[in-house]
Amino acid sequence: MNEPPLTFHVGQRVREQMQKVICGQESVIDHCLAGLLTRGHVLLEGVPGTAKTLIVRVLARTLGCQFKRVQMTPDLMPADILGTNIYDPGTGKFRLRRGPIFTNLLLADEINRAPAKTQAALLEAMEEGVVTIDGEDYRLEEPFMVFATQNPIEHEGTYPLPEAELDRFMFKVIVDYPARETEARMLRMHNSGFDPRDLDSLGIEQAADRETLLRCRREVIETTVQEAILDYILQLVAATRESPLLRLGGSPRSAAVLLLASKAFAVLAGRRYVIPEDVIAAALPTLRHRIILQPEAELDGITPDMALKTIIESIPVPR
């Protein structure tokens, strides 16, 4: 019998530690892990109070990573994120005062409240792992990952994310309300004195280090994908371009991202090969923010997820 990949065991340890603090949200945690394993970035969409910030904080603690949070506001400037050179009278030279982007896990809270110029400051870092300040490049230390949150209800004073920025996010994950039993367990934790602001008292143990994470990333790359699965991914993405429900379908990058995400889901499930179920599990979060509905479909109340599910159901699953 084949031994499950290292990533499977690491994922189990991470989930076990995170469940000391996070009630439910198993799917959100798995998507965050998959993004980390594939050098992706994750957009978390949900109403306030659904533990989006807490999930990222606890994930950083579990992996021994540095975490920083930026509250995005309309008056936030690029230098507030990247940093700036300041004059040091003592030495007579300029020195870099590093911004919060110099971290491992960066949380851009309510990203759609920042103006386009400030949002654009994240693009180079998300794509290249590099920031440019006063014409000089600075490479960000691995692992580097951006988590961003946005509220799907409140749009006053917000700036819609441009397509180029949305495309930088590997996943758009919907953080929904917890199930009744899960919320009841959360209330019992709070009733017994649980304080999410005091992670030091909660006994969270580090489940992996940087070297382990790099080994897990190599496992994802080495995961086997049969030709039939590759063809299935191509059919799915091509179908989004042909669907009468969509004005804009998935790009070639969408297919590459869907492949990588499917490989991450496979190893997290304990397999060294991808099956169609991995592709189906990865399809919605990787494609929902990369497609645009036809105006008529929106008027009919169709959502991106509904359109994608219709497309997925129309493609024969390879066996």
Query: Which residues lie below 8 Å from residue 240, measured CB to CB, with a gap of 6+?
Result: 246, 249, 250, 254, 287, 291, 308, 311
Of residues 183 and 8, more confidence is placed in 8
Q: Per residue in 179-232, pLDDT tens?
A: 888 889 888 888 888 777 777 777 788 998 888 998 999 999 999 999 999 999
- The CATH code belonging to domain 223-314 is 1.10.8.80
Can you tell me the mean pLDDT for 8-12? Answer: 93
CA–CA separation, 172 and 146 (whole Å) = 12
Over 50: is that where the pLDDT of 249 sits?
A: yes
Q: In 10 A of CB 87, how many CB atoms?
A: 10
Percent share of the chain, pLDDT over 70: 98
Mean per-residue pLDDT, 250-257 = 92
Confidence of residue 154 (pLDDT cuts 50, 70, 90): low
Q: pLDDT for 89-129, tens place per residue?
A: 888 788 888 999 999 999 999 998 888 888 888 888 888 88
- Specify the pLDDT at position 100: 93
Mean pLDDT value of segment 12-19? 92
How would residue 133 be classed by pLDDT, with cut points 50, 70 and 90?
A: confident
Average pLDDT over residues 243-247: 94
Which of 122, 121, 145, 149 has its CA nearest to residue 39?
A: 145
* Residue 28 clears pLDDT 60, i.e. is over it: yes
**Pick among 3.20.20.190, 3.40.50.300, 3.40.50.720, 1.10.1200.10: CATH of 6-212:** 3.40.50.300
**Half-sphere exposure for 308 (CA within 13 Å, toward CB):** 21
Asked whether the predicted pLDDT for residue 167 surpasses 90, the reply is no
CATH 1.10.8.80 residue window(s) in the chain: 223-314
pLDDT for position 280: 96
Helix locations, the chain, DSSP H: 6-18, 26-37, 52-63, 78-82, 116-128, 163-166, 180-191, 210-222, 227-242, 252-268, 276-287, 295-299, 304-314
Question: In this structure, what token pair is assigned to residue 224?
Answer: 């086997």
The strand pair at 292-293 and 246-248 is best described as: antiparallel
Mean pLDDT of 271-276: 96
User: How much is the average pLDDT of 60-68?
Assistant: 92
Q: CA-CA distances (angstroms) from residue 299 to 154, 245, 294, 296?
A: 20, 11, 9, 5
Spatial CA neighbour of 25 closest among 186, 135, 169 = 186
Alpha helices (H) in 19-51, listed in sequence order: 26-37
Mean pLDDT over 38-67 rounds to: 90
Mean pLDDT for 63-82 is: 91
Q: What is the largest CA-CA distance in the chain?
A: 70
pLDDT at 1 over 60: no
Q: What is the mean pLDDT of the chain?
A: 89
pLDDT for position 155: 64
Please list the residue range(s) of the chain that carry CATH number 3.40.50.300: 6-212
258/281 Cα distance (integer angstroms): 10
Measure the N-to-C terminal CA separation of the chain; round to a whole number of Å.
22
Query: If you ran DSSP here, which 8-state letter would residue 247 be given?
Result: E
